[in-house]
Amino acid sequence: MGYTVAVVGATGNVGREMLTTLADRKFPVGEAIALASDNAVGKEVSFGEDEVLKVQDLGKFDFKGVDLALFAADAKVSAAHAPRAAAAGAVVIDASPQFRMDPDVPLVVPEVNAAALAGHGKRNIVASPDGAAILLAVALKPLHDRFTVRRVVVSTYQAVSGAGKDGMDELFGQTRAIYVNDPVQKSTFSKQIAFNVIPHIGPFMEDGATKDEWALNVETKKILDSKIKVTATCVRVPVFIGHSASVTIECEEPVTAEEARRILRKAPGVQVIDQHDNEGYITPVEVAGDDPVFVSRIREDYTVDNGLSFWCATDNLRKGAALNAVQIAELLVERHLGG
Ligand SMILES: NC(=O)c1ccc[n+]([C@@H]2O[C@H](COP(=O)([O-])OP(=O)(O)OC[C@H]3O[C@@H](n4cnc5c(N)ncnc54)[C@H](OP(=O)(O)O)[C@@H]3O)[C@@H](O)[C@H]2O)c1
């Protein structure tokens, strides 16, 4: 006995991680179904140690009988297929940006706003936030509960896997090309990413911000508190897995680094690594393959009233996407789906 769970985008970075996470966390899966584009039909993907799934064509797939559909393809695929999955009776958990700001779709990070899941029935869709927004929300939530965060200044350092498997291939290909003196080819990123950083993620908007910078602001408001102001600079860095962020917050209440550290140590989904020595902080290569949001470099910011600065990082494919979606599925089963 268990749930019939379909993963859309099962051949991609996030989809594969979803299948691994479902198996690792022993989610009660009766049948697992792997879906992708017609190009991938017949390919095989692993589900846990022993099971191999043959990929089926999403375009031809009928969602009748599916309990949960985890979407990890791009926004256009979700726009075209998530509503029909929901209409067929599956609860959709969508990792793409498509429905995140839809007022009838809850945008959920289980450690932060699990209660919002109660609204999932309006469209039968739950959205999982942008990876950097999840990172920020998990770190901010305990601080907001105690100190009331009013303004956030954040610079992100986002891994190439945030741009899908093509982003990882581009970093690998460019690095290799530079070593063997071949011309550097670019297609996913607008500038060379190997041995470089690019202050540009998502299309530019009218005011000069990028879509991801805008998303970090509006998604944080929707998940955590509409009164919080977020100003963001999103930067792509030549790291395969692991989004990081440098964060400064201004709070309503007086804040000390010591109390912030104590609060964060007890917070769900957070691990504090904060020693003032050479190895006393986290870096993205160390978070790859791990679940928590790690917080380091916690210190008071004396340039503003009630200011605090910190560094945080998480595996963007796990907590930043797949793990968050599976945690949503676990909560749905526990609180809403029954059976
Ligand atoms: N990567 C992150 O850090 C992260 C974090 C949060 C959210 N997300 C979101 O998660 C989603 C997936 O990201 P990703 O990094 O896993 O991308 P990815 O590695 O490029 O994978 C994309 C997946 O979508 C499938 N796909 C493409 N076109 C399709 C179609 N027409 N019909 C069905 N499936 C199709 C691909 O299958 P084929 O093998 O058939 O091409 C592949 O399985 C995106 O919406 C992204 O915004 C990603």
Q: Is the CB of 320 under 6 A from ligand 1?
A: yes
pLDDT tens digit sequence for 300-337: 999 999 999 999 999 999 999 999 999 999 999 998 77
The response to whether 158 counts as a known ligand-binding position is yes
Residue 124 near residue 90, CB atoms below 8 Å: yes
pLDDT tens digit sequence for 3-27: 999 999 999 999 999 999 999 999 9
| Tokens read off for 94 | 């969508």
| Tokens read off for 57 | 């064509």
Which residues lie closer than 8 Å to 51 by C-beta, 6 or more apart? Answer: 23, 32
- Could you give the percent of the chain with pLDDT greater than 70? 99
User: Distance of CA 279 to CAs 246, 275, 282, 300, Å?
Assistant: 18, 8, 8, 20
Residue 238 near residue 194, CB atoms below 8 Å: yes
- Could you give the percent of the chain with pLDDT greater than 90? 97
pLDDT tens digit sequence for 165-204: 999 999 999 999 999 999 999 999 999 999 999 999 999 9
User: Nearest residue CA, atom 41 of ligand 1?
Assistant: 37
User: Nearest residue CA, atom 28 of ligand 1?
Assistant: 37
Q: What is the per-residue pLDDT for 339?
A: 54
Q: What is the per-residue pLDDT for 338?
A: 66
pLDDT tens digit sequence for 33-51: 999 999 999 999 999 999 9
Which amino acid, 328? Answer: I
What does the buried/exposed string (b/e) look like for 159-183 if buried means 16 or more CB atoms within 10 Å of the residue's CB?
A: bbbbbbeebbebbebbeeeeeeeee
* Domains of the chain as residue ranges with CATH: 3-129+321-337 (3.40.50.720), 132-316 (3.30.360.10)
pLDDT tens digit sequence for 206-239: 999 999 999 999 999 999 999 999 999 999 999 9
Q: What are phi and psi of 154, to 5 degrees?
A: -130, 135
Q: Is residue 299 exposed (0-12), middle (13-18) or buried (19+ Cβ within 10 Å)? A: middle
Average per-residue pLDDT for the chain: 97
The response to whether 123 counts as a known ligand-binding position is no
